[in-house]
Amino acid sequence: MKVAITGGAGFLGAALARRLLAAAHLTVAGEQYGPLDELIIADLVRPPADVAADPRVRVATGDLISTLPALADAELIFHLAGVVSSAAEADFDLGMSTNVDATRALLELCRSRPVCPVLVFSSSLAVFGSDPAIGPIGAVDDDTLPRPQSSYGIQKFIGEQLVADYTRKGFVRGRSVRLMTVAVRPGAPNAAASSFLSGIIREPLAGIRAACPVPPDTPVALSSPRRTLDGIQLAAAATDEAWGSRTAMNLPALTTSPREMVAALARVAGDHVAALVDWTDVPSIAAIVTSWPATFATPRALALGLKAERSFDDIVLAYRDGA
């Protein structure tokens, strides 16, 4: 079994790579295989040293379109590469070329194969938003109509529809999953509007001050790294019948707020750590984050065995303990 991960040098991509490399067997569309034979990592930069050192890993560096030839014989593709929310909003052309044009090129590669591969596309909760002409979006369920209010959300929704239509035509066996904001991410902040939701935990635990740019009681939908990876892997493993609709699947979310997150940080690490969070106001960030829904009902994901974390305390503990 040959597997490819676009965006495989990023946090989620590298974490997924480690899971796949450590697995005794792989399940793909209901069929069980032995350990993977080859893992192709496609990204702008090389993956972490521990991933790149595995003899089964082949690295292709460059933009997605330039690395497509390296993915040509992959039987399973995890498409995680993309320009994130604030960056896609700031640079429209970059967002379109990476999130839309490169996704279409990848799907055309799949179409050219004699046997179509399984493709898992990582979409986002940003496909939902509060339309100014309609009002707040409220709770989201499996049948809620996406109304993206950012370039990133629109680009991800376009990607979902492309995957659905290429699947309908039999060009690829596609499964799209809408990821919640992932927290806590290790490492340096990225360009996502939601990056602070990891920073207000990660930095204080390292003894560094962090800023929260939205009001403390702003509701947010979060998922831990481990629950997010569970959803991505299950999308690849499920049979076509179990997966069901070609419509993207919302992953389960924990609804919380920055105030509740910092309170959990205080319970886990102490008030002196939580005091390192500064409450600021950045309207451009708040405008994006507050347009996203925060409450999700996900019966489709729950029926497949996926679940959200029980509390944000559990997420902080898992990050602190490296779990």
- 174-207 residues labelled b (16+ CB within 10 A) or e (exposed): bbbbbbbbbbbbeeeebebbbbbbbbbbbbbbee
What per-residue confidence (pLDDT) applies to 322?
Answer: 79
User: What span, in angstroms and rounded, lies between the C-alpha atoms of 193 and 181?
Assistant: 10
In the DSSP assignment, the letter for residue 84 is -
In the DSSP assignment, the letter for residue 296 is B
Q: Give CA separation, 6 vs 45, 102, 161, in Å.
A: 11, 11, 19
What per-residue confidence (pLDDT) applies to 81?
Answer: 95
Residue type, 153: G
What per-residue confidence (pLDDT) applies to 9?
Answer: 95
3-state per-residue secondary structure call for 86-147 = HHHHHCHHHHHHHHHHHHHHHHHHHHCCCCCCEEEEEEEHHHCCCCCCCCCCCCECCCCCCC
Cβ contact 42:67 at 8 Å:
yes
What per-residue confidence (pLDDT) applies to 191?
Answer: 67
The pLDDT of 294-303, averaged and rounded, is 95
Q: Over the stretch 180-237, which tens digit does the pLDDT of each residue have? A: 999 999 887 776 778 899 999 999 999 999 999 999 999 999 999 999 999 999 999 9
SS3 177: strand
- Residues with Cβ < 8 Å from 228, sequence gap 6 or more? 12, 179, 180, 182, 251
What per-residue confidence (pLDDT) applies to 187?
Answer: 82
Cβ contact 88:150 at 8 Å:
yes
Nearest to 124 by CA among 155, 169, 163: 155
The two tokens of residue 321 are: 């303990």
Q: Give CA separation, 86 vs 83, 245, 283, in Å.
A: 9, 30, 13
Neighbour order of strands in the sheet with 181-182: 181-182, 220-223, 254-256
The answer on pLDDT for 308 being more than 70 is: yes
CATH number assigned to the domain covering 2-180+224-252+297-308: 3.40.50.720
What per-residue confidence (pLDDT) applies to 169?
Answer: 97
What per-residue confidence (pLDDT) applies to 323?
Answer: 63
Q: Over the stretch 98-152, which tens digit does the pLDDT of each residue have? A: 999 999 999 999 999 999 999 999 999 999 988 889 888 889 999 999 999 899 9
Cβ contact 283:219 at 8 Å:
no
Cβ contact 136:130 at 8 Å:
yes
What per-residue confidence (pLDDT) applies to 21?
Answer: 97
User: What span, in angstroms and rounded, lies between the C-alpha atoms of 196 and 297?
Assistant: 25
Domain locations in the chain? 2-180+224-252+297-308
Compute and round to an integer the Cα radius of gyration of the chain: 19
DSSP H or E segment with residue 260: helix 258-269
| Span between the terminal Cα atoms of the chain, in Å | 28
Q: Over the stretch 84-103, which tens digit does the pLDDT of each residue have? A: 888 898 899 999 999 999 99
Q: Over the stretch 155-164, which tens digit does the pLDDT of each residue have? A: 999 999 999 9
Q: Over the stretch 163-178, which tens digit does the pLDDT of each residue have? A: 999 999 999 999 999 9
Catalytic residues: 152
SS3 40: strand
User: What span, in angstroms and rounded, lies between the C-alpha atoms of 155 and 152?
Assistant: 5
Q: Over the stretch 249-286, which tens digit does the pLDDT of each residue have? A: 999 999 999 999 999 999 999 999 999 999 999 998 88
What per-residue confidence (pLDDT) applies to 131?
Answer: 86
